């Protein structure tokens, strides 16, 4: 199936051998290093702030995120309310801050599910091959046949809306990509000399997988984790926007945008600030994922770029 890498550029499993490193001009190298560094630094700083907001939770918020103040409703941003107030007079800044925690937790647990299940399946499929591989990967193909958000919605239609179910649904949706990424790497590592040597020494399957194979397929998995966190947070926001994810009174960025949509004309701040929060969070995970790819998995980048640069 060609859908496997719809969100990442052609992956490390392309069958071409890596060409020898070509000489590159220093200025280009510096330009790239600077930009990619700057972006990664930006991502790490934003994530750091988010984690602080998530840990502090309500103590960091200037107001109670659910305190209704009908007289002070729909106030534009001011010193008192930097992000304004919503249609019930609740402080938008406090709500955005408090929502960070749930967003990060949902994203992390959902990706945790996908990572655990997907990597296990990928290891087993890639290592044992034959019918085990066939069965597992066909099931993954079936899951891949649904657009991500549609599959999540369908699962929530069965489980019912809510935070826990949203985590499970997003976890299931992103399992196949981990299975595929892992399997592809296992296939190439499986035939390495050290694996064959270990096997001929009588090392058991489980030990072989844990000590010799898993550590050597971690790089693409780490990259995929960062990128998946970005998509998981986007998915959660979309599901909450549709009313299927985080439920009121818990504030969530997605739901805040849904509420803000009705007040676009009178109160732009309601539809802008929660979106900025989602955007900046997702952007940081994406940027960090790309920087990680450059650092951990340079084969695909350099393979392509060395060719481009060698002309």
Residues that bind other proteins (CB under 8 A): 1-3, 6-7, 9-10, 24-25, 28, 31-32, 35, 39, 138-139, 141-142, 145-150, 153-154, 156-158, 160, 230, 234, 237-238, 241-244, 254, 257, 260-261, 264-265, 268, 271-272, 274-275, 278-279, 282-283, 286-287, 290, 304-311
CB of 51 to other proteins, least distance (A): 18
- Closer residue to other proteins, CB minimum distance, 202 or 308: 308
- Closer residue to other proteins, CB minimum distance, 2 or 59: 2
The count of residues in the chain is 311
CB of 161 to other proteins, least distance (A): 9
Cis previous bond, 249, omega within 30: yes
- Closer residue to other proteins, CB minimum distance, 20 or 202: 20
Distances (CA, A) of 218 to 36, 211, 299: 22, 12, 14
Residue 36, strand partner residues: none
Contact 278, 253 (CB under 8 A): yes
> ∠ at Cα 208 (206, 210), nearest 5°?
70
CB of 148 to other proteins, least distance (A): 7
CB of 276 to other proteins, least distance (A): 8
- Closer residue to other proteins, CB minimum distance, 158 or 201: 158
Contact 226, 140 (CB under 8 A): no
- Closer residue to other proteins, CB minimum distance, 185 or 235: 235
CB of 82 to other proteins, least distance (A): 19
Contact 239, 254 (CB under 8 A): yes
CB of 137 to other proteins, least distance (A): 11
d(Cα 86, Cα 73) in Å, to the nearest integer? 6
Tell me the two tokens of residue 47.
């994530």
CB of 139 to other proteins, least distance (A): 7
- Closer residue to other proteins, CB minimum distance, 163 or 278: 278
d(Cα 175, Cα 182) in Å, to the nearest integer? 11
- Closer residue to other proteins, CB minimum distance, 194 or 279: 279
CB of 31 to other proteins, least distance (A): 7
- Closer residue to other proteins, CB minimum distance, 61 or 287: 287
Distances (CA, A) of 130 to 27, 124, 182: 49, 11, 16
* Torsions phi, psi for 222 (to 5 deg): -65, -45
d(Cα 36, Cα 128) in Å, to the nearest integer? 39
- Closer residue to other proteins, CB minimum distance, 216 or 302: 302
Contact 297, 220 (CB under 8 A): yes
Query: Mind giving me the DSSP string for 245-300?
Result: SSPTTS--HHHHHHHHHTTTTT-HHHHHHHHHHHHHHHHHHHHHHHHHHHHH-HHH
CB of 264 to other proteins, least distance (A): 5
Contact 40, 287 (CB under 8 A): yes
């Amino acid at each position: 199936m060609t859908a496997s890498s719809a969100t990442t550029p052609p992956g490390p499993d392309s069958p071409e051998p890596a060409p020898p490193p070509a000489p590159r001009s220093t200025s280009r190298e510096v330009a790239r290093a600077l930009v990619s560094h700057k972006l990664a630094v930006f991502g790490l700083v934003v994530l750091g702030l988010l984690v602080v907001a998530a840990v502090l939770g309500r103590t960091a918020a200037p107001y109670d995120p659910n305190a209704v103040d009908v007289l002070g409703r729909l106030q534009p941003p001011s010193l008192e309310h930097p992000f304004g107030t919503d249609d019930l007079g609740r402080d938008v800044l406090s709500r955005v801050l408090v929502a960070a925690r749930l967003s990060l937790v949902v994203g992390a647990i959902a990706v945790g599910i996908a990572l655990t299940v997907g990597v296990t399946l990928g290891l087993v499929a890639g290592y044992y091959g034959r019918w085990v591989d066939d069965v597992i990967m066909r099931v993954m193909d079936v899951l891949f046949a649904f657009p991500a958000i549609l599959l999540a919605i369908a699962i929530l239609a069965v489980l019912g809306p809510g935070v826990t179910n949203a985590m499970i649904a997003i976890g299931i949706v992103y399992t196949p990509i981990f299975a595929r990424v892992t399997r592809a790497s296992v296939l190439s590592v499986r035939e390495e000399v050290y694996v064959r040597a270990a096997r001929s020494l009588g090392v058991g399957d489980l030990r072989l997988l844990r000590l010799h194979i898993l550590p050597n397929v971690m790089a693409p998995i780490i990259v995929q984790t960062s990128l998946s966190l970005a998509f998981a947070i986007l998915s959660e926001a979309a599901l909450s926007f549709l009313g299927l994810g985080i439920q009121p009174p818990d504030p969530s960025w997605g739901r805040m945008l849904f509420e803000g949509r009705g007040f676009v004309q009178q109160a732009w701040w309601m539809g802008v600030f929660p979106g900025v929060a989602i955007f900046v969070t997702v952007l940081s995970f994406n940027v960090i994922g790309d920087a990680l790819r450059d650092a951990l998995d340079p084969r695909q980048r350099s393979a392509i770029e060395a060719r481009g640069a060698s002309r």
